[in-house]
Amino acid sequence: MTSRRHNLLLAALLTAAVGAAGCSTVSKLNPFKGSGGPKEVATEGQRISIIPQDEVLAPAEALKGVDFALPPITTQADWPLPGGTPEQSVENVDAGVNLAIAWRRNVGQGSSNAIHVTGTPVVAAGRIYTLDAEAGVSAHDAKTGAEIWRANLRPSDNRRDRESFGGGVAFNDGKLYVTSGYRFVAAVDAASGKLLWRTRTEEPIHAAPTVAAGRVMAVALDNSMLTFDAATGAAGWTYQALSEPARILAASSPAVSGDTVVASFGSGEVVALRIANGNDLWDEALSRASRTSALSEIRDVPGRPVIYRGDVYAVSHSGVFAATDLRTGQPRWTLPVVGITTPLPAGDVVYVVSKIGQVICASRETGQIYWMHDLNEGYVPKSRGGFWGIGGTKMPKPVWSSPLMSNNRLLLVGSSGQLVALNAKTGAVEKRLELGGPALIGPIAAGDAVYVLTDSAELIALR
């Protein structure tokens, strides 16, 4: 991958600011002042950071040598939603034991300077469904990778967004639901790829939908939560979060538990709503001003919020990794982590990957850190271009995906083109695998296989 391509890819996912009026137009960064750091003494309902602002993260002395429990290894039959379940939470899967590549298949248009592959694959009833960089949807046999059908959902009359990207897919009750940066939500028959309905939206949608309780729910670029009737596509209630001119060209899928949906926004807000009517139950602002980084003013929460055992876990680009009580919205703890990925709570601990490539294992109860592993440790910047090493552009450090726990290992993929397996108890590297190209979407699992979708729209099955 060229230096220019690599830098554009990182800019799109990490530090781009987007004008709410369009999908393919990138505006200038326009940060504004934040709400300040956490107070030293908290009043009722106020979150307390367990590490003072600007202090370096480190494992807790009290946890040295202390063991913790991981969830039992179980088979995940299907992966119908971006995070595997409505809660966006999957624990410890029995898949990809040997991490050997079983097959590779191209599933459509890969990323380029203007378009990007962003949708997590989903798996249901022996088929794996993907969305490419130009609204191309395909179904493949999960065992063999053989293509079953392919459909191009890009609108032919869309003059407003001639170049766009983003969106995702979700499976429910025999239908595949698709959101797109081309400003639409659609349902197709999962067996044949036949379009069942399509509803236009005012704003692009850069993330996959979540389907639950007969509703399709998605977060649009203007920080609005949109809902649609799953049977007809008719628009339902909406929720408008705070406007945010500076944000990341990525977005989040809502999490659902019972009658509550939790969504995160580019404003740094994490909001709990009633699925039935959109009434808000509580909201949290995961923002943290930093004296040393202007990028902390980009408050986006691009990773999915995760609901696990009564708590909500989410991490923001502004530097707040938080645990919040789902029922009351009361704060539990925070850590100063700058992140763009989805946390992974599992058993006694929760894992999160920082933007600089640190994997952090923390206690779910207290937020204290068991261990940290720097995936970019020892990285030597490489230069591209120039003449005899002069005038070239240095490649930035690799960016890493959200983790998947498989057989007591954490699996992560990165822009370096590698898959890395870490011991979930210690953080030690157990295996590295060359994928043949950058990957920024976290691995998923179904049956005995782990699946990775690369930046070039190549689907890889590992067994």
Q: Name the pLDDT band for 55 (thresholds 50, 70, 90).
A: low
What is the C-alpha separation between 293 and 343, in angstroms, rounded? 23
Task: Look at residue 44 and tell me whether its pLDDT is greater than 80.
Answer: no
Domain spans of the chain, in order of start: 3-34+57-462
Residue 398 has pLDDT above 50, yes or no: yes
Task: Specify the pTM.
Answer: 0.87
Structure tokens at 254: 């809502």
When the pLDDT of each residue in the chain is averaged and rounded to a whole number, the result is: 86
Report how far residue 198's alpha carbon sits from residue 179's, in angstroms, rounded to the nearest whole number.
Answer: 10
Q: What is the pLDDT of residues 227-260, one digit of tens each?
A: 999 999 999 999 999 976 666 666 799 999 999 9
100-125 burial by CB neighbour count: b if 16+ within 10 A, else e? ebbbebebbbbbbeebbbbbbbbbbe
CA distance 186 to 341: 26
Q: What is the mean pLDDT of residues 262-268?
A: 93
Per-residue pLDDT, 160: 58
- CATH 3.90.1110.10 given to domain 3-34+57-462: no
pLDDT, residue 39, reads 35
Query: With 60 as the cut, is the pLDDT of residue 342 above it?
Result: yes
- For the cut 70, the answer to whether the pLDDT of residue 166 exceeds it is yes
13-37 pLDDT, tens digit each: 443 333 333 333 222 223 223 333 3
CA distance 321 to 354: 10
Q: What is the pLDDT of residue 37?
A: 36
